[in-house]
Amino acid sequence: MDARKIQLPREIHTGAGMIKETGKICRNLRLDGDVMVVTGPNTRKIGGDAVIESLLEEDYNVNDITIDNPSKSSVEAVQDEIKQCSLVLGVGGGKVIDVAKLASTRAAVNFISVPTAASHDGIASPRASIKDEGGNVSLKAEPPIGVIADTEIISKAPFRLLAAGCGDIVSNYTAILDWKLAHRLLDIDYSDSAAALSEMTAKMTINSADAIKEGLTESAGLVVKALISSGIAISIAGTSRPASGSEHKFSHALDIVAPKPALHGEQCGVGTIMMMYLHGGDWKFIRDTLKVIKAPTTAYEMGIEPEYIIEALQMAHTIRSERYTILGDRGLTHESARVLAEKTGVI
C-alpha cells in the first residue's frame, strides 16, 4: 500500500451572509494570532472589508494587502507581509485565492479561502496557478483549513463568473477521459474514488443546468459546492488530473497566445467541447449544456480571434508535456486544428 497523505479543508461554511461570521469561524477553529487578509482591487470592497470587520469584532489584530495579479512577486510580497501572522485569508477570485494559498503554504501558516465568485475550482484545491516568465504554472500548495462561501456575495457577482465556474466543472468530463486514457496507455496512477467524485460533480452540475440562474443564492450555492468538490477530488488524487486534462492544456495555451484571454473557466468550457470531439464523445451535449448555462461556446463569445484558437490547439500538447492526453505527444497540425474548431462551431 503506497503511503499517502490527503489534506482536506476542516470546515466548509456556505450560505447567505456567512462572511459576517468569519471572525467567529476563525475563533471556533481555534486560530489565534495576527491575521493577514489578501484581496483584489475590486474584492476589497466586495468582501475584504466585511471580513476585516468581522475579525476585528473578535479582537483579532488584522493586516491587509491588495494584489492585482497572480505573479511570483505578488506571492513574495504577501509572504513578506505575513511574517508575524499565523493566519491568512484570501478574499476574492481565483487569482487572489491562489496567491494567498501559495504564500501561506510557503510561510507555513493556516489559510482560509473566502471566494467572492464561483468562477474556478481552486477554492479548496491543493494547487495554485502562478504566472511566471513562461506563462501560468500549476504549483503544489496546501488546501485551505476552511472555506467561507457567502452565497449572497457570490450570487451578486457578474453572472459571467458563475458561468465560467460551470465551464471549469464541465471540463472534468474530458479531464477524466484523458486520465483514463493515460492510465490504460502508460499505466499512470489513477484514483477511482477521485475520478468518481469529479465525474459525479460534473454530472450533478450539468443535470442542474436549468437551475443555474443569475442573482440566485441557490445557484451560487450549487456551483460553489461543486467547485469545492472538484478541489477535494484533486486533493484525494494528489494531482489535478481529475479536473485538468487536454481542455486545460488548451486554456493554458490560450493564456499564452491570446492578446486578451477570457476567464479560465470560459476557456476550459470551450476546450471541453473540442476535446470531447477528439475523444469521439457527445461534444454537442457539452456545447448545448454550456449554452443553457449561458457560458461561451465559441471564440467570438470569448472575444478571441480564430487564429489564436488554432494556435493554442496546435501548442496545447506542449503544455505540461508529461501529462498524456488525447492530444498525444505530437499534437494537432494547423489543418486538423482548424477543422476541429470549425466542426465544433468554435470558430
Ligand X SMILES: O=C(CO)COP(=O)(O)O
Ligand Y SMILES: NC(=O)C1=CN([C@@H]2O[C@H](COP(=O)(O)OP(=O)(O)OC[C@H]3O[C@@H](n4cnc5c(N)ncnc54)[C@H](OP(=O)(O)O)[C@@H]3O)[C@@H](O)[C@H]2O)C=CC1
Burial letters for 186-207: b for 16+ Cβ neighbours within 10 Å, e otherwise?
eebebbeebbebbbebbeebbe
Told to check if 168 binds Zn ion by CB under 5 A, we report yes
The pair phi, psi for residue 308, each rounded to 5°, is -75, -30
Give which of 262, 344, 268 is closest to 301, Cα–Cα: 262
CB of 251 to Zn ion, least distance (A): 7
CB atoms inside a 10 Å sphere around CB 184: 10
Binding of ligand X by 235 (CB under 6 A): no
Helix (H, G, I), strand (E, B) or coil at 41: coil
Residues within window 287-346 making contact with ligand X, judged by CB under 6 A: none
The label of the residue with cell 464561483 reads 118
Under a CB-based contact definition with an 8 Å cutoff, are residues 111 and 99 in contact? no
Instruction: For residue 207, give the amino acid letter.
Output: N
**Smallest distance from ligand X to CB 327, Å:** 14
Number of residues that bind ligand X (CB under 6 A): 9
Residue 292 has a CB neighbour count (10 Å cut-off) of 12
The single-letter code of the amino acid at 190 is Y
- String of contacts with ligand X for each residue 134-153, x by CB under 6 A: ----x---------------
Can you give 253-296 as a three-state secondary structure string? Answer: HHHHHCCCCCCHHHHHHHHHHHHHHHCCCCHHHHHHHHHHHCCC
Q: How far apart are CA 102 and CA 128, in angstroms?
A: 6
**Longest C-alpha distance within the chain, in Å?**
63
Question: Could you say which DSSP state residue 133 is in?
Answer: T
Stretch that binds ligand X, among 77-85, 199-207, 243-251, 292-300 (CB under 6 A): 243-251
Least distance to ligand Y from the beta carbon of 96, Å? 5
Instruction: State which residue, 35 or 222, has the beta carbon closest to Zn ion.
Output: 222
CB of 296 to ligand X, least distance (A): 17
Asked if 255 touches ligand X (CB under 6 A), the answer is no
150 binds, among ligand X, ligand Y, Zn ion, none (CB under 5 to 8 A by kind): none
- Quote the CA–CA distance of 265 and 298 in Å, as a whole number: 13
Chain positions 168 to 187 lying near ligand Y, rule: CB under 6 A, are: 168
From the list ligand Y, ligand X, Zn ion, none, pick the one residue 114 interacts with, judged by a Cβ distance below 5 to 8 Å according to partner type: none
Question: Whole-number minimum distance, CB 215 to Zn ion, in Å?
Answer: 24
129 is an interface residue for ligand X by CB under 6 A: yes
Q: Is 125 annotated as a binding residue?
A: yes
Binder among 101, 225, 248, 279 for ligand X (CB under 6 A): 248
Residue 42 touches ligand Y, criterion: CB under 6 A: yes
The residue among 35 and 233 lying less far from ligand X, judged by its C-beta, is 233
Kindly state whether residue 44 participates in binding ligand X, applying the rule CB under 6 A.
no
CA angle 319, 280, 341 (to 5 degrees): 60
Annotated binding residue 252: yes
Summarize as ranges the residues that interact with Zn ion (CB under 5 A). 168
User: Which residues fall in the annotated binding site?
Assistant: 94-98, 116-119, 121, 125, 168, 248, 252, 264
User: Which residues fall in the annotated binding site for substrate?
Assistant: 121, 168, 252
Summarize as ranges the residues that interact with ligand X (CB under 6 A). 121, 127, 129, 138, 168, 240, 243-244, 248
